[in-house]
Amino acid sequence: MVRYLAPLVIFLILAGFFYKGLFLNPQDVPSPLIDKPAPSFQLSNLHEVNQVVARDEMLGKVWILNVWASWCVSCRQEHPVFMQLARTGQVPIYGLNYKDKREDAIQWLVDFGNPYVASGFDSDGRVGVDFGVYGVPETYIIDKQGIIRHKHTGPVTVDAVQNEIMPLVRKLQG
């Protein structure tokens, strides 16, 4: 009897896990960096090779870090949202150009507009790895002390800006 009951119990347990998985949001990927300091970085500026974009320059202000690439289809989808947000001037948006070619990234911003105060050029993806990036786009909200307070995986939408990102930015700007 136990010989027949054991596979049934295992099957029911696995079925329960699969059933629960049906109701999870695939974009809700927990980050171990939430409420921890953003990784320190110093990258060359995408547009000005001799200038540096560094995390420490942003200390003292709430800011958004958007990880993007010219080869990223979803980045193109979210880009108008960032253009609109940048025009409001409510929060500075910095870019992390991830595993891209400098010329392609610059041309992409020429073609579609540049919402970024500055973009760090992360050609080998090391800074992205430090942030736990596993795919682009990803967007982080970082507070005045340099602490990551939120991570949005996937393309940012108008709804996400209105209901998730800007309420938190306003709260952190306090």
CATH code: domain of residue 113 = 3.40.30.10
- pLDDT bracket for residue 70 (50, 70, 90): very high
Q: What tens digit of pLDDT does each residue of 117-147 get?
A: 999 999 999 999 999 998 899 999 999 999 9
Find out whether 125 and 97 touch, Cβ atoms under 8 Å. Answer: no
Residue 24 maps to a domain: no
Residue 167 maps to a domain: yes
Residue 13 maps to a domain: no
Residue 121 maps to a domain: yes
Cα distance between residue 94 and residue 83, in whole Å: 12
Residue 23 maps to a domain: no
Rounded to two decimals, what is the model's pTM? 0.83
DSSP class of residue 35? T
C-alpha R_g of the chain: 20
Residue 147 maps to a domain: yes
Domain membership of residue 46 as a residue range: 33-173
pLDDT of residue 31: 64
Contacts (Cβ under 8 Å, ≥6 apart) of 51: 44, 45, 118
Query: Domain total for the chain?
Result: 1
- Position 46 pLDDT exceeds 70: yes
pLDDT of residue 19: 61
